[in-house]
Amino acid sequence: MSPFLIAPSILSANFACLGSEVEQVIEAGADLVHFDVMDNHYVPNLTVGPLVCESLVKYGIKKPIDVHLMVEPVDQMIEDFATAGAHRISFHPEATKHLDRSVQLVVDNGCEVGLVLNPATPLNCLDHIIDKLDFILMMSVNPGFGGQKFIPQTLEKIRAVKQRVQASGKQIRIQIDGGVKVDNIRSIAEAGADTFVAGSAIFNQPDYKQVIDQMRLELSKVNMA
């Protein structure tokens, strides 16, 4: 596994010129394109669907599209986003009645699969399913909006998830989403995360490369001892 991945969330991009925004953030060093899907049902906000994902692929975006489903139910959207060109798909366990079936559906559609834990989701939701996951997406804000403040208790939770991942003996990435900035990315990495979603921290600045470079500089100082 490559050590650290940076996944800008296009939720904070300018949707009037999304293709160009995504190109620019890839040019600036993004590893993944984080694509937040909200349905005004599972979360109180509404964003974009598979048509927009497909448009980005047709536009020529080659970096993996990391689809974060904040929708309920999830199964139809899994199939639709896989068809639209998603590479990774994650969803919330509360949003499906049949967790194992939904996880398997992502796998059967050829995508990497992740389970998303809200700040108050207990870790026992990983029981009986962790072995099938490629990544665990940990929310460090309550899902629904960009630009919220990082919930500090998440650091302890990341450490606990890291232990579960190590106990599983599997190569499972730990991704963090919400309030990630240049000034906290290092401590988040030291807690055990390896994939970093950042929306407002990147897109609200004029120079995306400068922010991503600063994040990588912080990550280069990570002390895992």
Nearer Cβ to Zn ion (127/177): 177
Please, what is the angle between helix 75-83 and helix 50-59, to 10°? Answer: 20
Structure tokens belonging to residue 149: 């403040």
Active-site residue 177, yes or no? yes
- Starting at the earlier edge strand, list the strands of the sheet with 5-8: 5-8, 195-198, 173-177, 135-139, 112-117, 88-91, 65-70, 33-38
29 binds ligand DX5 (CB under 6 A): no
CB of 162 to ligand DX5, least distance (A): 21
Nearer Cβ to Zn ion (29/144): 144
Q: Which does 201 bind (CB under 5 to 8 A by kind): ligand DX5, Zn ion, none?
A: ligand DX5
Q: Report angle CA 40, 157, 125 to the nearest 5 degrees.
A: 60
CA atoms within 13 A on the CB side of 164: 22
Which residue in 36, 80, 134, 194 is the catalytic one? Answer: 36
Which residue in 134, 177, 183, 194 is the catalytic one? Answer: 177
Please, what is the angle between helix 208-220 and helix 18-27, to 10°? Answer: 40
88 binds Zn ion (CB under 5 A): no
Nearer Cβ to ligand DX5 (63/131): 63
Active-site residue 134, yes or no? no
68 binds Zn ion (CB under 5 A): yes
On whether the CB atoms of residues 178 and 150 are closer than 8 A, the answer is yes
Please, what is the angle between helix 75-83 and helix 99-108, to 10°? Answer: 10
Nearer Cβ to ligand DX5 (104/151): 151
Q: Which does 180 bind (CB under 5 to 8 A by kind): Zn ion, ligand DX5, none?
A: ligand DX5
- Residues 152-181 within binding reach of ligand DX5 (CB under 6 A): 177-180
On whether the CB atoms of residues 89 and 110 are closer than 8 A, the answer is no
* Contacts to ligand DX5 by CB under 6 A: 9, 11-12, 34, 36, 68, 141, 143-148, 177-180, 197-201
The catalytic site residues sit at 36, 177
